[in-house]
Structure 1
Amino acid sequence: RSDRIRYRVIDPQIRPELAQEAGIAQVPTLRITKGDRSTLVNATDEESVTNGIHRVSTTATKSIYFTQGHGEPDISDSESPGGYGQFAQALRNQNYEVTTVFLAEAQDVPDDANVLIVASPARELFPNEIEMIDRYLTHGGSALFLLEPRRSAEIAALLAEWGIAVGNDVIVDQQMRLFQGVTLGLEPVVSSYGEHPVVEPISERTVFSLARSVSPAEAGRDGVTVDSIAFTPATSWSESEVDRLFDQGEARLTEEDVEGPVSIAVAAAGSVADLGGEGDGEVKIVAFGDSTFATNKFWLQLFNDALALSAAGWLAGQEELISIGPRAVRASRARLSPAQARTVFYLSVLVIPELILMCGILVWWHRSSV
């Protein structure tokens, strides 16, 4: 209980006039009110209630724009595996105004854009679009870049100017599977995070799919601080022979590859004044080497949703807005060392079945000899 919150329970069957006055048309429904601001919440889980309180507590709605027109995931698609509908809806639940922008038809990035999200364009952005994004950042904008291997060379070049190195590689991770032994996977599970506000609330694992490395560049940009915020496991590496991996399905660790842990995401920040601009604004960039982790298919896998929403909150200047996942069972993965995998294999395939068989033989022999 808290002296900052007062609540009242209404039974709409006993007091239908009060329910009608509150605008409650279904059960369960919460009307959350603060001053002259109110909202209706049709769920009672912790995440929905927290977001409802946030909506009535904030006086300004911030705008998030997704680029479109180059084959980016559809933010209106909440059904297909590759859509971004669940991501967009989660942002709306946190009181963001979410919409799209086709930069090629715009004069510039919209003035009210608090965050610009560039998510895995299937086709290259036009040079004037890259110039718009760079100009937007230089004037204190915030952008989230979600990249994929063998795509977006023009975005990688833009990020390089801001001190962010996007690798021309694919993250490969060794995985132990029963009955198969060591196999190579392209879905690294991340459990190691850097020290940064973006990942400060994240303590659980996240999973990525077909990702590339993203790390601070050796020669950074003056006035911009770049930090790695997520790392793949020590059993992974960044495979530099990308064509062989895609064309032949083969990967092997060579001297040209970088052994894990490999940086898969970075966050960058810098003062506009330090960059030679005017005003006291701050440029913020978050770049992931994967866009699939935020799709509908992976949105509720492990804690991907919390990571994506935390990145958006930091970029929008709302670090206090933390995604509280519902108390539901989520997909999980157990990472076994080679020794642990062999132990599980021998126990489950050889030792335990033979013990059961021997017990059965002993029981049969004992009964037949009586």
Structure 2
Amino acid sequence: MNNIKKYKVNSSITIIIAVVIVILLNVFVTVLGTKVPLKIDMTTNKMFEISEKTKEYLKNYETPVDIYVLAGNSEKDERINAVLRKYSESNSNIKITNINTAENPTFGRKYANDGIKLTANSVIVDSGNKYKLLSLSDLYGINAQTGSYTSLNVENKITSALKYVSSDNQLKAYVVQGHNELAVSGAMAKLEDENYSVAELNTLTEEIPADTSLLMIVRPTADFSKDEISKLDSYLLSGGNMQVYFDVDSKGLTNLYDYLKSVWGIGVEDNMVIETDTSHSVMIGGNGVTLVVPEIRETEFTSSLLKNKRTIAYFPYSKELRQEFEHNGDISVEPVLLSSDKAYVTTSNIAEKTGAESQFIVGALAADNKHNSSVYVSGNTMLLTRDASILSNDYGLANYDYFMNLINYTLNNDESFTVDEKTLVNNSISMSLSSAVTIFILVVIIIPLIILVCGLVIWFRRRNL
């Protein structure tokens, strides 16, 4: 009897200790959950994580910032909030607050200017002196045809907003006018999103401001005067950066061609590069528009695109560029974008080849190490007239990532890094029928049977005490 009583006492003590341990463990995990993120992002593209570039940027971010999410508990977008939490976890200067506009309807009035309407899950990034308002359509990529969400742009937009609200100075970019250039509203909007001040500049009548960070010339069809070429040269000798985008309508620009060829080592030919390799093409939209996909050479600013297997494309056709020299004094030239080796060139008639099939340069970068300046020349407009979100979300093209990576590289502007949008993915697990049957037998039959047998053995032993 004493053994039975002793056993019961020991069993009771064991049960009490086990219950206490479970309670303490539960409290510990609960408290830990408020201090340390316990959720694990299992998505293939780490959709709810922030990139290493953003983490490095946040390490030295010293501006106190409030990020307001206009959503009550019932309407919160968990994807948006999951990414935002990474910012507050990475830097104590960043505070995330959810605002229930039903309970606080007057909140946000000072932000709703210029006709901007605040909607559920709008996000406001406010440093006190400056703020940035982001709508739900900014934070998601939306397919213009179906209206469905295609990508999550939270990190892209929030990191850009943090740069904007903490910056006292903006880099200045000018789009040259006066030569029948093409309007590039898409590129200008993208630059503004990346905290650039963007304006137009007529080099025929105006001087290039000394604080210009970037000069863009897009599809000129009238030549530059010698006085304008002198302005361009003086700007570049003072450490400027210029990008020139031609297309097949740009012809006979003798002064501009001569300057690019003789000084910067990039020759421009008045012909068309015709791509015949179908593996270097992509079809977009419901109307079957075919674009050309160039080969991208490995450089510092293209490595991330190549690593992530991103695609850039342009409308047929491109002008042919030539590398006049590899090095000439302090200036070096490198091809960046090329056709396949099955392309050919023609002067007018697409079906008429003027030479053998070969590989042709359609994008080249020249750099002057002495003056810290650069000139990028493209044989086509790289779709810079199109909206960045449409190219990325609807067609999956990385043209604007290429564009911004190039700018940040040539300007040596590490702080103005770009963050890729993240495609929304459905992470489902698929398995064969045999695997499903094996898991079913293990979970539904074997494991319960083991537990049953163990229970019977324990019951039988206790029964004989």
- 1:231 counterpart letter in structure 2: L
1:16-55 equivalence runs, <5 A: 16-20=105-109, 26-27=118-119, 28-34=121-127, 36-42=129-135, 43-45=138-140, 46=153, 47-55=156-164
Q: For 1:17 and 1:289, how far apart are their aligned partners in 2?
A: 52
Query: Which residue in the other structure is 2:401 paired with?
Result: 306
Query: Which residue in the other structure is 2:413 paired with?
Result: 318
Structure 1: 5+ residue stretches without partners: 75-83, 178-184, 275-280, 330-370
Q: Given the two structures, how large is their TM-score scaled by the length of structure 1?
A: 0.71
Query: Which residue in the other structure is 2:300 paired with?
Result: 196
Whichever structure has more helix as a proportion of its residues is 2
Q: For 1:148 and 1:97, how far apart are their aligned partners in 2?
A: 26
Q: Provide closer, same or farther for how the CA distance between residues 56 and 215 of structure 1 changes in structure 2, counting only shifts above 3 A.
A: farther
RMSD: 2.9
1:106-121 equivalence runs, <5 A: 106=206, 108-121=207-220
Q: Provide closer, same or farther for how the CA distance between residues 206 and 321 of structure 1 changes in structure 2, counting only shifts above 3 A.
A: same
Asked if 2 retains the 8 angstrom alpha-carbon contact of 1:188 and 1:236, the reply is: no
Q: Provide closer, same or farther for how the CA distance between residues 186 and 168 of structure 1 changes in structure 2, counting only shifts above 3 A.
A: farther
Query: Which residue in the other structure is 1:58 paired with?
Result: 167
Structure 2: 5+ residue stretches without partners: 1-85, 141-152, 280-288, 426-465
Q: For 1:21 and 1:187, how far apart are their aligned partners in 2?
A: 45
- 1:143 counterpart letter in structure 2: M
Question: Which structure would you say has the larger Rg?
Answer: 2
The reply on whether 1:172 has 2:257 as its aligned counterpart is no
Q: For 1:219 and 1:30, how far apart are their aligned partners in 2?
A: 48
- 2:103 counterpart letter in structure 1: I
Query: Which residue in the other structure is 1:232 paired with?
Result: 339
Q: Deviations over 1:58-99 (max 9, x none)?
A: 33101100111111012xxxxxxxxx1121111111111111
Q: For 2:227 and 2:128, how far apart are their aligned partners in 1?
A: 46
Asked if 1 retains the 8 angstrom alpha-carbon contact of 2:294 and 2:338, the reply is: yes
Q: Deviations over 1:158-190 (max 9, x none)?
A: 11111222234321111459xxxxxxx994212
The reply on whether 1:264 has 2:362 as its aligned counterpart is yes
Asked if 2 retains the 8 angstrom alpha-carbon contact of 1:201 and 1:322, the reply is: no
Q: Deviations over 1:201-251 (max 9, x none)?
A: 3231111231123343237431012222222223323x1x413x2xxx323
The 3-state SS of whatever aligns with 1:40 is: strand
The 3-state SS of whatever aligns with 1:144 is: strand
- Structure scoring higher RCO (CA < 8 A, sep ≥ 6) equals 1
Query: Identity over aligned residues, as a percent?
Result: 15
Of 294, 305, 318, the match for 1:211: 318
Q: Provide closer, same or farther for how the CA distance between residues 205 and 191 of structure 1 changes in structure 2, counting only shifts above 3 A.
A: farther
The 3-state SS of whatever aligns with 1:105 is: coil
Q: Deviations over 1:295-330 (max 9, x none)?
A: 22897152222222222333443354215236379x
- Greater mean deviation of Cα atoms: 157-166 or 114-123: 157-166
Q: For 1:30 and 1:101, how far apart are their aligned partners in 2?
A: 34
Q: For 2:278 and 2:192, how far apart are their aligned partners in 1?
A: 39
Asked if 1 retains the 8 angstrom alpha-carbon contact of 2:244 and 2:377, the reply is: yes
Asked if 1 retains the 8 angstrom alpha-carbon contact of 2:326 and 2:332, the reply is: no
Q: Provide closer, same or farther for how the CA distance between residues 63 and 327 of structure 1 changes in structure 2, counting only shifts above 3 A.
A: same
Q: For 1:6 and 1:294, how far apart are their aligned partners in 2?
A: 36
